[in-house]
Structure 1
Amino acid sequence: MACACCLDPGAPMTTAHPERSSVVLFALATLAAGAGAAVQAKANGALATRLGAPVEAALWSFGSGWLVLALGLALLPAARRALADVARAVRRQNLQWWEVLGGLFGGFFVAVQSFAVPQMGVALFTIAMVGGQTANALLVDRIGLGPAGRTPLSMPRVLAALATFVGVAVASSARGGTVHALSLTALLLTVAAGAGMSIQQAINGKVNLASGHVVATTFVNFTWGFAALCGYALALFSAGRLHSPRTLDVPWWSLVGGVIGVVYIAIAAAAVRHLGVLVTALMSLTGQLVAAVLLDVVTHAAPVTAQLLAGVAITLTAAAAAGLAAQRGTRG
């Protein structure tokens, strides 16, 4: 069971080195959340394949997560009060109206994923997404968009971002993703979607600071993400490109993506205050990549090669270096 300070970033710490302890705990939590994201991707991918409709799989993922959070709001008076605190913060302009729209970036990412992967292949999509996310995380931290405030550019942070990009590129190419004929539109949209994930983490962190409750924060995120996907599905329907599911006979484990997404967004929203956007992104990507390799080993989905392990090692080293830099920053 996590301690109260892990669930509520505003709770007081009782350890001798509170900020240092927070960095370590939230780094580990974000690694675990990234690992969950790999499981979520596998579940959502299996659901999309069985349904034959990626958009409907994404709608289920966001919609089921939203229902879980709505139930949480119904059962938790503190979460409802926290949601009212967010609305009050927006009215008083302590929180800008656009800072509650982080879920739109999540919905945009899923929509771009369904459009770009068939054109670019998994490998190039992953590399372009990571490039956009890590580069923009440096900028987001630099301008102080997240709750941690401004974090100046430094050589260790820049090198960690570049090394993570290299590691993911090496690992992704080793996983056998097919690189299709390059679509410039798909490439630019993917980079933008990755960049949007950094903005989402930053402003969700601010919402969590205003609410003080991760259930309320995550509900706000999922509401806008689900709304964005519903709008995308409506546009497809209007164009005659939304089709009925091929079958509703799906494995039970393919339905858990929404619940995992709830946990991921909640942890990221709390962690970004302590880690900053860049370190949160790098820890998450590392956990995702390591878990993806383990899933391949367990399910025999793809061979685990020396090149793949080298990519994972590069990414893990970069994330660890970024985490140590963040920890040293809390002492200064």
Structure 2
Amino acid sequence: MTRPTPAARLALFFATAVVAGATMPVQGRLNAQFAAESGEPVLASFASFTAGFLVILAVTVLTGRGRRALARVPAALRSGQVRPWHFGAGTAGACVVLAQSGSIGTIGVAVFTVALVTGQLIGGILVDRLGWSPAGVRPLTARRVLGAALAVAAVVLVVWPRLGEAGRLGPGWLLLAAIPLLIGLATSGQQVLNAWQAAAYGSVLPATLINFLVGAGVIGLVLVVQAAAAGVQGGLVPQWWLYLGGPLGCVFIGFSAILVPRVGVFTATLGLVSGNLLGSVVVDALAPTGGAQITVLTVVGTCGAVAAAALAGPGRTRAPQADPLQERPTGRDRPAVPAGPDDGPGR
């Protein structure tokens, strides 16, 4: 059996990123309906994260590979391959959900989306340029900058009919738009930390599990504060399918951790954004809500995002010898963490 060519492998990785990104509109639609049915957005977010945590916990503890990978977490901590603060990666996902609840109602979903994607792409370029991910250093080339600009322009085209929602705020909307922009930057760091954890454990399962545990904890804390201050007005809903948003998030985080060591944060983000837009088109076509409709701008913008990913490409890689975000142990201080991964990216 012949080995796939680099171009074929890149196409496979990009297709994987698109599939992972396409889960996000479905997750968003489920979470939005959950929030509408329950009358409590923060509770809906907590239920979604908790459902995702329970699913990934079951997969981890009920499979031999998952248990072996989970058993490597203490050794990775002792060796310094993983630092305790790496576990904070899950807060980025929680911040995205909380920011959606807190800012979309003011600046509109369009501005939120553009700002978030812009932050993700800028963060991806910076992380790759500094060589912080397992994919190594990826130079800042004109092609990558042009690809990022084209991707942002594509997202602007898709949401253009709704950008007027922010006009009523005047210049003040720029300050609120900085929130999703900064969160977008933070998600690049989340992808890096998840990728290094997956490499240390030999599997994406413990990293995904820890992400959902931390994210559910953060949102749970917000829910407790809200309950103490103003009470919780809504409750859980009986429709079981509305709890599937969390498990879809497991797919997104897991595939991101697999992709980053292979194509870098920026290229992975481009694929995820393309999948997000493609998935949004499908969701709006099959189950439109809130007056959503597919326009010529939607189609052109979505195609533009895919073109941006093809234009930017992964570029050449100079892989780092160690994780540049932390000090690495040497000699006898390094524990016997298995070198061969079970089911995820390895070093």
- TM-score normalised to the size of structure 2? 0.84
Q: CA deviation at 1:88?
A: 1.4
Provide closer, same or farther for how the CA distance between residues 21 and 87 of structure 1 changes in structure 2, counting only shifts above 3 A.
farther
Q: Which residue of 2 aligns with 1:3?
A: none
Q: Which residue of 2 aligns with 1:188?
A: 178
Bigger CA radius of gyration: 2
Of the structure 1 ranges 283-292 and 90-99, higher mean CA displacement relative to structure 2 is found in 90-99
Q: Do the aligned residues in 1 keep the contact of 2:274 with 2:302 (CA within 8 Å)? A: yes
Provide closer, same or farther for how the CA distance between residues 177 and 89 of structure 1 changes in structure 2, counting only shifts above 3 A.
farther
Q: Which residue of 1 aligns with 2:52?
A: 65
Provide closer, same or farther for how the CA distance between residues 43 and 213 of structure 1 changes in structure 2, counting only shifts above 3 A.
same
Q: Which residue of 1 aligns with 2:204?
A: 214
Cα distance in structure 2, aligned partners of 1:214 and 1:48: 29
Q: Which residue of 2 aligns with 1:11?
A: none
- Does 2:151 align with 1:161? no
Of the structure 1 ranges 306-315 and 120-129, higher mean CA displacement relative to structure 2 is found in 306-315
Which residue of 302, 305, 321 corresponds with 2:295? 305
Instruction: Output aligned runs, 1:180-259, within 5 Å.
Output: 181=169, 182-240=172-230, 242-245=231-234, 248-249=236-237, 251-259=239-247
Provide closer, same or farther for how the CA distance between residues 229 and 194 of structure 1 changes in structure 2, counting only shifts above 3 A.
same
Provide closer, same or farther for how the CA distance between residues 187 and 71 of structure 1 changes in structure 2, counting only shifts above 3 A.
same
Question: How many residue pairs get matched?
Answer: 313
Q: CA deviation at 1:165?
A: 0.7
Cα distance in structure 1, aligned partners of 2:96 and 2:80: 28
* Residue type of the alignment partner of 1:316: V
Cα distance in structure 2, aligned partners of 1:233 and 1:287: 31
* Residue type of the alignment partner of 2:186: G
* Residue type of the alignment partner of 1:276: G
Q: Which residue of 1 aligns with 2:274?
A: 286
- TM-score normalised to the size of structure 1? 0.88
% same residue: 32
Q: Do the aligned residues in 2 keep the contact of 1:174 with 1:305 (CA within 8 Å)? A: no
Q: Deviations over 1:272-331 (max 9, x none)?
A: 111100011110011111111121122244221112222112111101222xx21x6379
Q: Which residue of 2 aligns with 1:296?
A: 284
Q: CA deviation at 1:107?
A: 1.0
Q: Which residue of 2 aligns with 1:24?
A: 11
Cα distance in structure 2, aligned partners of 1:233 and 1:60: 11
Q: Deviations over 1:28-62 (max 9, x none)?
A: 11100111111111111111111111111110111
Q: Which residue of 2 aligns with 1:136?
A: 123
Which residue of 299, 315, 319 corresponds with 2:309? 319
